[in-house]
Chain A
Amino acid sequence: MPQVATTANARDLWGTVGARIGIIRRNYRVVPGLYAVGSPGPESSVLVTANYKLSFDALRLPLTGVDAWLLVLDTRGINVWCAAGKGTLSTEEVIQSVNRFRLSEVVSHRQLVLPQLAATGVTAQEVKRGCGFQVLFGPVRATDLPTYLHQGKQCDEAMREVTFTLPERAVLIPVELFLLAKPLLTILALVFLFSGIGPSLFSLTAALDRGLLLLAATMLGIAGGAVLTPLLLPWLPCRQFWLKGLWPGLALAACTYPLFAPRIAVTEQLALALWAVTVSSYLAMNFTGSTPFTSPSGVEYEMRRGIPVQLAATCLAVALWVSRPFF
């Protein structure tokens, strides 16, 4: 039986950094199976988790002084809540893992503690019917597990509620930025293309001079939508994210106006501001997928309103920007 530590070593820390930045996020896994923390016996609790390494670490690291079995399911390297939503952390997967790893030969009781968020994919009654094990939904956060176990597997109300605190939001920003690297290459090409078009067909000097300005406006939009929006989320007015994203975009455009304005025409100023605000709005809308409280019906509702506006604003900004050298 593999024994796992309840402390993180240098490799774990670098792995966490790599996953949080996004570089190794898709392939940061643990081998599914049964693991031991402390020195568990037949009476010890069985704690179930996903085989994403960050989920596994989140579970094992708070367990200093606890004797328990860890049952790691095969969720294809996806975290508990996403895997439950996608169907890889399912009733069937729990039943199969219990059987595959012969849990009934290891423990004398018939009880599993699953993270509460696994309930999106797991039906407790069907697990019981399928393999004889009763499912208890434990706390949302593994850090509450020692208290939960100490209280005789009872949750306080606060342990059952999802939070989205400033640190919880801030830690998501690196991945938001990392995911932009690829689309940014396409945007970079278009930025220089649109900036160089002029009466002489294409001017390389203009492409570089004006292109840098347009690139700077793009960066402002990214800062607004992918950095400031997550940080300021609860204080941004409006419920719809594409509207929330307007404020940081507008604020950044206003703050940098004195830097841009003297060098360019009014139509160009307008184009840059419009573009920065649109990028911010779009990225704020994309942040819905990273939050723990947006519903698919709500996201669809706001996308049907936000995307047409964003598209129109983009077309207007491009038209203003490209047409300028012709006047």
Chain B
Amino acid sequence: MHGYRYIEGTATLEVDRQRCVGCGNCAVVCPHRIFALSTEGLEVRAPELCMECGACARNCPVQAISVAPGVGCAVALLSAWINRLLGRKVLSDCC
């Protein structure tokens, strides 16, 4: 999977290492294995692998992780833009 790196510097993932209690939930749920937990604390290994699914932040017991979660889908985003332009509600999407 490490061949699939997306655009650098775009993901909104932020970690507050001061707050982290080292439970390791984030490291368990991350589908791209970007967290490493060591004696030094929590480390984000490769932020450009983050797809902002939000699983880590949702399962963090102390809100040490923040990310704007969502689905990385151009079709969904485009229909949201068009709907906003036309003042419609989002009717349907593809998945």
A124 close to chain B: CB less than 8 A: yes
Q: Which of B73, B75, B95 contacts A78 (CB 8 A)?
A: B95
Q: Which residues of A contact B37 (CB under 8 A)?
A: none
Decide: A288 and B32 in contact? CB cutoff 8 A. Answer: no
As a 0/1 sequence over residues 1 to 41 of chain B, the CB contacts with chain A under 8 angstroms (1 = contact) are: 10111111011100000000000010011111100000000
Q: Which residues of B contact A257 (CB under 8 A)?
A: none
How near does chain B come to A56, taking the closest CB pair, in angstroms?
A: 17
B42 close to chain A: CB less than 8 A: no
Decide: B31 and A289 in contact? CB cutoff 8 A. Answer: no
Known contacts A82-B95, A162-B32: A293-B58 contact under CB 8 Å: no
Cα distance A84–B78 when bound, in Å?
21
Decide: A234 and B33 in contact? CB cutoff 8 A. Answer: no
A285 close to chain B: CB less than 8 A: yes
Q: How many residues of A contact B (CB 8 A)?
A: 48
Decide: A294 and B51 in contact? CB cutoff 8 A. Answer: yes
A85 close to chain B: CB less than 8 A: yes
Decide: A297 and B4 in contact? CB cutoff 8 A. Answer: no
Q: Which residues of B contact A117 (CB under 8 A)?
A: 31, 55
Q: Which residues of A contact B69 (CB under 8 A)?
A: 85, 120, 296
- Chain B interface size range: 35 or more
B65 close to chain A: CB less than 8 A: no
A303 close to chain B: CB less than 8 A: yes
Q: Which residues of B contact A16 (CB under 8 A)?
A: none
Known contacts A289-B75, A296-B71, A301-B7: A160-B28 contact under CB 8 Å: yes
Known contacts A239-B5, A295-B6: A288-B74 contact under CB 8 Å: yes
Question: Hey, which bits of chain B sit against chain A, CB under 8 A?
Answer: 1, 3-8, 10-12, 25, 28-33, 49-55, 58-59, 61, 68-78, 94-95
Instruction: Show 21 residue pairs from A and B whose CB-CB distance is below 8 angstroms, ordered by the A residue.
Output: A85-B71, A117-B31, A119-B29, A120-B53, A160-B28, A160-B31, A160-B33, A161-B32, A162-B1, A234-B4, A239-B5, A285-B74, A286-B74, A289-B74, A289-B75, A294-B6, A295-B12, A296-B72, A297-B68, A298-B72, A299-B77
Question: Hey, which bits of chain A sit against chain B, CB under 8 A?
Answer: 78-79, 81-82, 84-86, 116-117, 119-125, 137, 140, 157, 160-164, 179, 234, 239-241, 285-286, 288-303, 307
